[in-house]
Structure 1
Amino acid sequence: MGVQGLKTFIESSNRNDLRSWAFRDNRLIIDGCNLYYTLYFDYNLDQMHGGDYDAFEEVIILFFENLTDCDIHPYVVLDGGDDHTDKKWDTLRKRKQEKINAAFTLSAGRRANVLPILIKNVFRQLLHKLKVPLIQCLEEADWEIAALAKEWDCPVLSNDSDFYVFNLRAGFLPITHFQWKNVKVNTHTNKKFIQAQHFTVGKFCETFRMNPELLPVFATILGNDYVKLQDIKSLDWEKYSTSDTEHARIDGLLNWLSQFPGPDAAVSALLKLTRNTEKPLVQEALSKGIQEYKLISGYLAPFFHSKTIPQTASTGPLQVLPKWTLKLLLEGKMSSSIIDALVHHRVSLIVQVEDFKLPCCSETSRPIRQVIYGLLLLGEQQTADKLELAIKTFTGTSKHYVEEYGRQQLKLSSQKVEAVKTRVMEGLQLETLWKEPHNVRLHVLLDTLGVSLEMLREIQPALQLQISVTRYWLVNAQPPPSKVHLWGLLLGMVYGQCSSTPQTQRDILLKLKKLQTGRKKISLEHGTAHLYSQWQSCLKWSLCLNRLLCFPVSEPEVARLYRGKLVHHVVEELRRGSTLHSLLVRGSNAEQLFIQLKDAVVSLVGEDFVKKMRTGLMHKAAGKTQRDCNGQNQPIDELSSCFEHLMCEDIDNCEDDDLNGKSRKSKAKDHKNEIPDVSYTIRTRHKAKARNPDHPSKKYARRCFE
């Protein structure tokens, strides 16, 4: 939600609507999505290279530690699916296009704000780990947050301007003015507090001598995300303003409304300003807009207290959600995307920083989503409402589709994607999916990712999901990843895992740490960004599938799996001729973990597959020569063999001192001024792979969905 222009009006320097508050020892309802959005950008964490999730975790941990120090008791509420009435759909479509534009702007090296694709997964996992009370709403969260704050008589922390309209006695704390980083101490009581700016509707309306019940009328006229009254909004409200500032229109509208005793009188006056043909539509829009801000008891308080499932979930459109999924959804242990797929037959895909000349990164993970849609739609018991929705949406076919909203070049586009069943899904029903034996649910996940049970048994349980996803990515990504992309990804996992260990263990990461912090800003290589965005998309939807299947494999800590700037730095270093020896300490736990990850991946794709992968080394063009490992000119094919020896053999067996000494420096110097023709190489191989019916990804696609 949100009221256009209201936030900047209230926070403008010539007003005094925000009052200082030494906040402590209280409950606090937190708008979770607003919190992680604001904190990620406030700390200038990586966006261009796919995100730095472990750095984001450190910020969130510090935030909640500081709340605890001040005896503040947080309750976090997250958005769920789209509103079942679709009244906000036009606004959502507009925002999706804005996010595409922002991702493209960032990919072009200009400033923009783009949240990494896995940020919500990381946030939910961490809050569960910290035991912070959390609820993921079934639909939009704003109204439920306000209803809970009213019931508990405590403030809301958010940046959403709608909380300037909800009449909450305990008020509203804007995140941008919540000084949580600088915990202060009261010199008289010796108790800690956080300095905040506090807003209440009552104090605000006093300055205009206006009935607070008129604020919803004001918000509806001005235009929120749900109601658009363009004719009334465009009237000359400035003439009622007592100010000549840029906010004269808002000031004038508030002054005009202040003359009326209540909403009914204001609506009657507004209708007189409307053409006769428009009066019914305007009256209906105003009535709906006012209703949006009326608060009654919601379902958050009962669920926070006793995990009580809301009655609204068993009636109307939301009844398509099986009862066993409701608790998991509300606890944030299941993706809210399944709500949109079941209720709306629609899913929005997150556009990342990628190569916008290539198809959307989410296309690689589409077969995973098709299995999710199959579990949701093909095995459900057909109630009357479900049949009515299916007939209404897809008349004339027994197939089920979900409309996916992604991008086509730089434009928001949609595509109907068929829900499918793999060969092991026959007879499964959504309502009883949680009762299925573990091996059945595991089989569905593995079949989707193209992994056999025998292969999986060779991998440690803690690594099974991330390695299976990496296998799927290697086989299905377009264009195909090179070896340096694979090694960079695995080294990122090594860094994430080892950096969470005690300080005595962190010393083994000194070389990677130096690469992470000691380099100047790295430019974006679009091919690398595109490939890692595909991997993140595959991981996101594999996590969703694993949760829908009630965790047949353990879920990894997402923040440990990817660190954007680091993996991009590693890829660049490897391309320039650095070896794995130069990035890992020989005999260290980090080296052993890398070998373990590498061997696990090789066991799933096969040694021949890895040998045939492109090296990813820098070169000018096919047919030209480059320096070999000992400084001699050598054809590219022979260079590939040398690189294969460096990367594919166990690190323990590599004893070539020359590679760690002079010749590597010479090689790096030779390549210092070269610019790899990445786009040419990528597109050529992309087309070749698409034409090859015997490529592993083609074989898998035929097998999985036969």
Structure 2
Amino acid sequence: MGVQGLRLFIESSNRNDLRSWAFRDSRLIIDGSNLYYTLYFDCNLDQMHGGDYDAFEETVILFFENLRDCDIHPYVVLDDGADHTDKKWDTVKKRKQEKINAAFALSAGKRAKVLPILIQTVFTQLLHKLEIPIIQCLGEADCEIAALAKRFNCPVLSNDSDFYLFNFTAGFLPITHFLWKNVEVNRRTNRKFIQAKHFTVGKFCESFRMNPKLLPVLATILDNDYVKLHNIKSLGWEKYSMPETEHTQIHGMLNWLSQFPGPDEAVSALLELTSNEEKTLIQEELSQRIKEYKLISGYLAQFFQSKTIPQTASTGPLHVLPEWTLSLLLEGKMSSSIIDALVHQRVSLTVQVEDFQLPCSSETSRPIRQVIYGLLLLGEEDTADKLELAIKPLTGTRKNFVEEYCRHQLKLSSQKVEAIKTSVTEGLQLETLWKEPHNVRLQVLLETLGVSSEILREIQPDLQLQLFVTRYWLVNAQPPPSQVHLWGLLLGMVFGQFSSTPKKQKDMLLNLKKLQTGRKRISLDHETAHLYSQWQSCLKWSLCLNHLLCCPVSEPEVARLYRGKLVHQVVEELRRGITLHSLLVRGSSTELLFKQLKEAIVSLVGKDFIKKMRTGLEHRAAGKTERNYKGQNPPVDELNSCFGHLECKDIDDCEDDDDISGKRKTKSRDQKTENPEVSCTIRTRHKAKERNADHPSKNPRKEALSIP
């Protein structure tokens, strides 16, 4: 999790700890979690509207193409983010609260950093597609990454300051100083390279004439994720620093440590400086920390080379996991949340940008998780016996409950969620789940998402999961999605499907691309953000269930399914009255795909369901004071004028409609304010109450619509 202040000290202007390196022709161990975090934020991609996954994918592809051009051979290691020893749980909860605060800040139009919920899924899917070696650690990854770097004798690429403390020969390359976008050419050899900054523990410790084994003691003093040793940190280390030195506290600590031959002597001296009450705690803490930075043999190299599951990967608390799940977990093809659910019976849910006056968007997907928990916890007796030994008991918690941590308004909270069995999952056992017939595993997924097996043959396989999830979302989301939210989501899928087509075919997306790039900033509608956050949560957990069931349906390319700014803007433009004719080229493959997606959704939920949905045009209609829809239905042709022609087998030209839509777009541009900044309004509780009282879900007749 990093050592507080160490990176700033090493990178300070008056030091020479980072050496320039024209890096090429080498293996490279990449801290995958750190890489996708850095790439997403460094490339200024969308956070407020749920993420721009295809733009992120383009960035990742370019990164690995540039490595290949320089003959750099990457090995990507993902940290599953779990602490199976339970020592850092308080720190994890603190950081989860910080993420809630950041998401709320973004929802209010302020600056913050929140990764989109599906970013790791997009990253791992892409690496498998590119055939980049990848492994997901079953626990914290730092020690394993360092061990792999020692085994392969190559550097580590990360921004985690913990790697300034591991003493492996090939050293550490901070991502911040890894200039991967600017591939350079050596004029003498004509070979390409990437300019980087290189750090080694050996050279760093030489500058202080210090034993490298003392660095873990420094890490414990500076920052500790288990117990905060405030008394040690405030012992006045500045007095050991040189005059006119930056970061005097760290400099003083290093000078003080350099007088000792090894960690045992330094620990004894520290104990002399502390009170008797803290001596035992500090001694245990320092001893544990020193062990953590000791290079181990590790299991990553074995898995990369032979794909066999190392024995050390399934020991301790993780022995409750069947071998077939370990393989998928190590390959990054299964969510590590199943480990948390099994080992600790708790799951920490991802925070999104949404309406913070409404319940957490993850609540919509809870029934999906309950089925997952049931498959994990309510299986055979042998598994239950293993859990009895492996799980640390939680007061008042039974084995058939999982404690979920998510937000309640603006605070991190938890609630116990029951693991359930259904008529289909009854009798299924985790140990042998992968051996079950395909139709059994498929039926579990279909029943969970509320889909009839008869509908399967009507939907092509590569579209099934995303449409099943959309059906589940339409039925379960609160507030209920409107028609424009549905059409916006489907148009986003169309854009994603064709955005990677050859250049000559991209004219089919011309109008959607204009819509996407026409305005630098768009307003954030909190209801739209909340609804799409619910959809993404439903997709995330449906993917997890599909993996646990060994993929009875094809896994979609997630980067093709959602582009946040685009779908938000489509919703906004549809509300303004823009026609579909101006977004999709008539008679093109994009329009035909939209028709296919629309017909599939209608077959999944029924025409009556679509008719009863809100149009989503209330925002426009609200300004027309002469209209009064009280007690009667609004005009049925407002949305049909946009989408009705898609029911026709023969599509006619609609030049007049295109001219009208062009005038509407011109009028919209004229009405835009000079300031393109994000426009956000946080509703008061009183206004939210008024909105809910008049919500169409309270009076379905009020917004009834018919479609062809």
Normalization by structure 1: what TM-score? 0.93
User: In 1, are the aligned partners of 2:482 and 2:615 still within 8 Å (CA)?
Assistant: yes
CA contact (8 A) 2:406 2:413 kept: yes
Q: Which residue of 2 aligns with 1:643?
A: 638
Q: Which residue of 1 aligns with 2:419?
A: 419
CA separation of 1:89/1:676 partners in 2, compared to 1, >3 Å: closer, same or farther? closer
Specify the SS of the correspondent of 1:21.
strand
**Are 2:107 and 2:680, in contact at CA under 8 Å, matched by a contact in 1?**
no
Distance 2:692 2:442 in 1: 34
Partner of 2:388: 387
1:479 and 1:240, CA in 2 relative to 1: closer, same or farther beyond 3 A?
same
Tell me the matched-pair count: 688
Equivalent residues of 2:179, 2:196 under 8 A apart: yes
Separation (CA, whole Å) in 1 of partners of 2:347 and 2:562: 25
1:231 match: secondary structure = helix
Residues in 2 aligned to 1:350 and 1:640: alpha-carbon distance in whole angstroms: 40
Match status 1:661 vs 2:653: no
Q: List per-residue Cα deviations over 1:224-260 (Å, max 9, x = no partner).
A: 3345322111211011111445511011111111111
Using the alignment, how far apart are the partners of 2:326 and 2:43 within structure 1?
34
> Among the aligned pairs, what percent are the same residue?
74
**1:41-73 deviation per Cα after TM superposition (whole angstroms, max 9, x unaligned):** 000011111111111011100100111111111
**Which region of structure 1 is more displaced relative to structure 2, 383-392 or 498-507?**
383-392
- Shift of residue 501 of structure 1? 1.5
Partner of 1:593: 593
Aligned-pair CA distance for 1:640? 4.4
Q: Say if 1:125 and 1:511 are closer, same or farther in 2 by CA, change over 3 A.
A: same
- Whether the aligned pair in 2 keeps the contact of 1:317 and 1:385 (CA below 8 Å) is no
Q: How does 1:205-354 map to 2 (within 5 A)?
A: 205-245=205-245, 247-354=247-354
Q: Rate the CA distance shift 1:693–1:431 in 2: closer, same or farther, 3 A.
A: farther
- Counterpart Cα distance in 1 of 2:351 and 2:294: 35
Separation in structure 2 between the aligned mates of residue 667 and residue 153 of structure 1, nearest angstrom: 59
Structure 2 Cα separation of the partners of residues 566 and 45 of structure 1: 13
- The aligned amino acid for 1:661 is D
Contact kept in structure 2, 1:625 and 1:634, CA below 8 Å: no
Q: Is the 8 A contact 1:239 1:252 kept in 2?
A: yes
The Cα shift of 1:383 comes to 5.2
Q: 1:307 to 1:389 in 2, by over 3 A?
A: closer
Instruction: Give the drift of 1:298.
Output: 0.3
Q: CA deviation at 1:676?
A: 12
SS at 1:649 equivalent: helix
Range that drifts further, 277-286 or 646-655: 646-655
1:430 match: 430
SS in 2 for 1:334: coil
Q: How far off its partner does 1:362 sit?
A: 0.4
Separation in structure 2 between the aligned mates of residue 80 and residue 71 of structure 1, nearest angstrom: 28
Give the Cα–Cα distance (whole angstroms) in 2 for the partners of residues 396 and 200 of structure 1.
47
Counterpart CA distance in 1 for 2:635 and 2:680 is 15
Aligned partners of 2:12 and 2:246 also within 8 Å:
no
Indicate conservation of the 8 Å contact 2:84/2:317, yes or no: yes
Q: What residue is the counterpart of 1:580 in the other structure? A: 580
- Residues 687, 616 of structure 1: alpha-carbon distance in 2 compared, 3 angstrom cutoff: closer
Counterpart in the other structure of 1:701: none
C-alpha contact 1:480 1:686 (8 A) present in aligned 2: no
Q: Which amino acid aligns with 2:127?
A: L
SS state at 1:110 partner: coil
Displacement of 1:88 after TM fit?
A: 1.5
| Structure 2 match to 1:468 | 468
Q: 1:306 to 1:667 in 2, by over 3 A?
A: closer
- Deviation per residue, 1:429-466 (Å, 9 max, x gap): 00000000000000000000000101222111010000
SS in 1 for 2:157: strand
Letter aligned with residue 484 of structure 2: V
Mark the CA change 1:194 to 1:686 in structure 2 (over 3 Å): closer, same or farther: farther
Aligned twin of 2:83: 83
Taking only aligned residues, the RMSD between alpha carbons, in angstroms, comes to 2.6
CA gap 1:403/1:383 in 2 versus in 1, 3 angstroms: closer
Secondary structure of the structure 1 residue equivalent to 2:383: coil
Deviations 1:458-516 (A, max 9, x none): 11101000000000000100001111111100000000001111122211110001011
Matches within 5 A, 1:426-505: 426-505=426-505
Distance 2:620 2:539 in 1: 33
C-alpha contact 2:575 2:620 (8 A) present in aligned 1: no
SS of 1:135's equivalent in the other structure is: strand
* TM-score, L = length of structure 2: 0.92
Counterpart of 2:528 in structure 1 is: 528
CA separation in 2, counterparts of 1:428 and 1:466?
25
| 2:676 matched residue in structure 1 | none
Matched ranges for 1:160-175 at <5 A: 160-175=160-175
Could you tell me how far 1:523 is from its partner in structure 2? 1.5
- Partner Cα separation in structure 2 for residue 194 and residue 288 of structure 1: 38
Verify the 8 A CA contact 1:243 1:251 in the aligned structure 2: no
Change (3 A) 1:665 1:409: same
8 Å contact 2:316–2:390 — kept in the other structure? Answer: no
Cα offset, 1:402, TM superposition? 0.8
> CA 1:336/1:197 → structure 2, altered by over 3 Å: closer, same or farther?
same
Displacement of 1:687 in angstroms is 8.6
Task: Sort the Cα spacing of 1:18 and 1:666 in 2 relative to 1 into closer, same or farther, 3 A.
Answer: closer
Determine the C-alpha separation between the residues in 2 that align with 1:443 and 1:626: 51
Q: Deviations over 1:163-209 (max 9, x none)?
A: 00011111000000001111111111111111100000111111111
Aligned-partner Cα distance in 1 for 2:40–2:301:
28
Structure 2: give runs of 5+ residues left out of the alignment.
674-678, 702-708
- Partners of 2:604 and 2:666 lie apart in 1 by 33
Deviation readout 1:301-354 (Å, 9 max, x if unpaired): 000000121213433211111111011100011111111111111111111110
Q: Distance in 1 between matches of 2:693 and 2:455?
A: 28
Determine the structure 1 residue equivalent to 2:58.
58
1:181 equivalent in structure 2: 181
Write out aligned runs for 1:9-48 (5 A): 9-48=9-48
TM-fit CA distance, 1:14: 1.3
Alpha carbons of structure 1 residues 93 and 678: separation in structure 2 relative to 1, 3 Å = closer
